């Protein structure tokens, strides 16, 4: 069976979708199946290096990107289908070609944010992108999503015209050597900081976390720090970075709440290895990669009780009521004071993280590919 894997979007992908595409491509090569031949539209490493549409852009540059993306999905990708004659086309970025194709389609729709949180997107862009998604849902399509929560959300917004399957993804494989210099670079002590990694999207609730941490320091006198690693939100509507930065200054916490931007894989690995705990207060996630990632390093994880995060944590995290600053504060204090709880969460987390291995991720795709061909 021949499978064509669309990797075009890696030239702009960030955070979760980038990790999904890269790890799946690596997995297809590391765990081959004797009955499946994979063809990649692009070499992953080369596509990641393409800087054509990355970084700050003018309106003209953004328009050029959308035109490039449209050309790819509606003309170039269908041409590759004609060329390679695959049995299955995998599109991991929500959108499959609107053109009729002679093969089955596995379209990955990671979450239902476009329907659930319209306020976070430019109106014209959201309308355009939703039209692309819907036009590509045709013929022999099966939707793949990341959690049962996302599946339920997609059924509510797309209906049940096409089957939806859940495949748990794996976190990023941090194979780079640890870069211990990050501790002196950021003036950190091991076990001396809470960690959060991700963009400053509004839904990540980093303002809430910063306020809760300020109260935590006030009530406990702790000298621990809060490390918020990552870059701005993906649009003006979604970006809380300036607000978090201003709040830190207002609270006088410039020395205790650190926002170092993006860091290297080796630095991220060191930060996971040295953190006291991971905090994930997001109000909405389709999956929540940092949970199994942090748990794999043995970190206790405090997370909101948002449904996808509860599903992924599987009882191995310490949940608080989503959006409730006081509850988050109480969980941080509890974790600080209860060493037995920290040890228990660490042990449970390591066990839970094994459910999100690269091999399981890939083998779940193998099963669906072969099932669709039976």
The confidence score (pLDDT) of residue 84 equals: 98
Q: Mean pLDDT check: name the lowest of 116-125, 164-173, 354-363.
A: 116-125
pLDDT over 90 (residue 95): yes
Assigned architecture for domain 181-355: 3-Layer(aba) Sandwich (3.40)
pTM listed for this prediction? 0.93
Q: Are 301 and 294 contacting, i.e. CB atoms less than 8 angstroms apart?
A: yes
| pLDDT surpassing 90 at residue 56 | no
Please, is 130 exposed, middle or buried when counting C-beta atoms within 10 Å of its C-beta (0-12, 13-18, 19+)? middle
The answer to whether residue 277 scores a pLDDT higher than 90 is yes
Mean pLDDT of the chain: 94
Q: Among 34-38, 89-93, 368-372, which is the least confidently predicted range? A: 368-372
Contact 77, 6 (CB under 8 A): yes
pLDDT tens digit string along 313-364? 999 999 999 999 999 999 999 999 999 999 999 999 999 999 999 999 999 9
Q: How confident is the model at residue 374 (pLDDT cuts 50, 70, 90)?
A: very low
Window from 59-73, 196-210, 273-287, 305-319 with minimum mean pLDDT: 59-73
For residue 372, pLDDT beyond 60: no
In angstroms, rounded to a whole number, what is the distance separating the alpha carbons of residues 57 and 55? 6
Beta strands per DSSP E along the chain: 2-5, 37-40, 88-91, 104-108, 141-145, 164-166, 193-197, 225-229, 257-261, 277-280, 301-304, 318-320
Identify the weakest region by mean pLDDT among 29-43, 89-103, 226-240, 318-332: 226-240
Domain 2-170+357-372 has CATH 3.40.190.10: no
Residue count of the chain: 374
Q: Which residue spans of the chain are classified as CATH 3.40.50.2000? A: 2-170+357-372, 181-355
Strand 193-197 with 225-229, pairing: parallel
Question: Which of 138-142, 145-149, 236-240, 359-363 shows the lowest mean pLDDT across its residues?
Answer: 236-240
pLDDT digit string, tens, across residues 288-312 = 999 999 999 999 999 999 999 999 9
């Amino acid at each position: 069976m021949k499978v064509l894997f669309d990797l075009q979007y890696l030239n702009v992908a960030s955070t979760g979708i980038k990790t999904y595409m890269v790890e799946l491509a690596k997995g297809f090569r590391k765990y081959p199946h004797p009955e499946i031949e994979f063809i990649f539209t692009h070499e992953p490493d080369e596509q990641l290096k393409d800087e054509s549409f990355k970084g700050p852009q003018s309106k003209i540059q953004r328009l050029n990107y959308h035109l490039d993306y449209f050309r790819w999905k509606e003309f170039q990708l269908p041409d590759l289908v004609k060329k390679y004659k695959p049995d299955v086309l995998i599109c991991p970025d929500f959108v499959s070609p609107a053109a009729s194709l002679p093969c089955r389609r596995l379209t990955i729709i990671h979450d239902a944010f476009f329907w659930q949180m319209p306020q976070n997107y430019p109106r014209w862009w959201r309308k355009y992108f939703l039209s692309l998604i819907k036009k590509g849902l045709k013929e022999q399509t099966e939707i793949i999503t990341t959690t049962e929560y996302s599946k339920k959300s997609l059924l509510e917004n797309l209906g049940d015209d096409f089957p939806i399957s859940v495949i748990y993804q794996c976190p990023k494989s941090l194979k780079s050597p640890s870069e211990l210099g990050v501790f002196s670079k950021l003036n950190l002590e091991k076990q001396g900081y809470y960690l959060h990694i991700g963009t400053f999207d509004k839904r990540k609730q980093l303002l809430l976390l910063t306020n809760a941490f300020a109260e935590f320091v006030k009530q406990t006198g702790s000298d621990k720090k809060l490390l918020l690693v990552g870059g701005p939100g993906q649009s003006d509507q979604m970006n809380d970075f300036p607000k978090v930065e201003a709040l830190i200054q207002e609270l006088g916490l410039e020395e205790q709440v650190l926002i170092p931007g993006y860091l290297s894989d080796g630095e991220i690995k060191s930060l996971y290895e040295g953190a006291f705990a991971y905090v994930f207060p997001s109000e909405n996630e389709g999956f929540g990669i940092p949970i199994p990632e942090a748990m794999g390093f043995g970190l206790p994880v405090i997370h909101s009780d948002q449904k996808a995060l509860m599903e992924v944590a599987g009882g191995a995290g310490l949940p608080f009521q989503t959006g409730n600053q006081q509850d988050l504060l109480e969980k941080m204090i509890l974790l600080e004071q209860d060493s037995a709880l920290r040890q228990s969460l660490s042990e449970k987390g390591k066990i839970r993280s094994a459910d999100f291995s690269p091999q399981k991720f890939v083998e779940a795709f193998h099963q669906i590919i072969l099932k669709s061909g039976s």
